[in-house]
Amino acid sequence: MNKMYQTKHELWLSITFASFAINNEDIKSRLYEFSLIAFRHMKWLADDILACGNNYNYDRNMTLYKKENVFEIIKTLEKEVKKIQTLYKDDVLGQRLQTDDTYLLEYLSQILKNDANNQQITAFNMQRKWLDKNLEQEQIDALTMFLFEESYKEYELILVYAFMQARTSDVTQFSVFQDLIDESHFHLKSFGNMMAKLGILALPRELHELTYVIKDLQKFVKDGIAEEEAAKVMCKELSDAIKDEELSKFFDFINYQESYHIELMKKLL
């Protein structure tokens, strides 16, 4: 069961980062919707594993290969989806996962039928230029550092909150965890797409078990509040440093969202 969970975790990341890498807005949006379905699969699999008295972890064994065009990404996704379908159990949950994946495969096949979809991938070119804006190098460096640190933080929080949510029967905790998971999905999506525009798209590093196996919830929440406060400082510094009104307003927006995350986490205390 943990092998299936690990493979689904890897597939979720593959679909998510494929959506970040592809420039076509229709394909990007649709793939991201499928990535959220894959994440729900992870939730249901986690519940099923725990109900059977077993456990799972966030180990992974994958590489984000630097593809040069859309079709290379789509064909790789096809292989991953077909691979995981052999692992599903023959039960109600397994049938749901199977049929979702079958439709994903159909969508991927439709993309491959249209040669116009096979556009160049620029998400890995390392150019570090922000659209047509002429940002100074120190501003690009600050933005790069922020995106690498914060994309890992959001990935970490999604998985940590999901891990704890699967193990609570407290309604308030469950609700707060869900809000924080949803918010972190949005932030990861925002930062991932920005990394792709800069040509620096990369997977966040893997989580160590000590990161998400929480023994002291109160200490974890207090540390999380401190981490959110630090993120607010980084957002404010970046907003002040970048001489681009659109980017500055975006980081102000993220800063305000982090403020509410702190209030949500205070509910857990």
Quick check: 123 and 199 in contact, CB under 8 A?
yes
pTM score, whole prediction: 0.94
- For the chain, 269 residues long, give each residue's pLDDT as a single digit of tens: 788 999 999 999 999 999 999 999 999 999 999 999 999 999 999 999 999 999 999 999 998 888 999 999 999 999 999 999 999 999 999 999 999 999 999 999 999 999 999 999 999 999 999 888 888 899 899 899 999 999 999 999 999 999 999 999 999 999 999 999 999 999 999 999 999 999 999 999 999 998 999 888 889 889 889 988 888 888 888 888 887 888 888 988 988 898 898 999 898 88
Q: What is the pLDDT of residue 244?
A: 84
Q: What is the pLDDT of residue 57?
A: 95
Ramachandran region of residue 52, left (φ > 0), alpha (ψ -120 to 50) or beta?
A: alpha
Helix boundaries (H) for the chain: 2-21, 25-51, 70-85, 92-112, 137-165, 171-198, 209-212, 217-241, 245-268
Quick check: 122 and 200 in contact, CB under 8 A?
no
3-state secondary structure of 83: helix
Quick check: 255 and 239 in contact, CB under 8 A?
yes
Q: What is the pLDDT of residue 241?
A: 82
Residue 40 and residue 93: Cα distance in Å, rounded?
A: 12
Q: What is the pLDDT of residue 74?
A: 97
Q: What is the pLDDT of residue 182?
A: 96
Tokens of 243: 């001489």
Q: What is the pLDDT of residue 131?
A: 81
C-alpha separations of 121 from 117, 118, 129, 196 in Å: 11, 9, 15, 9
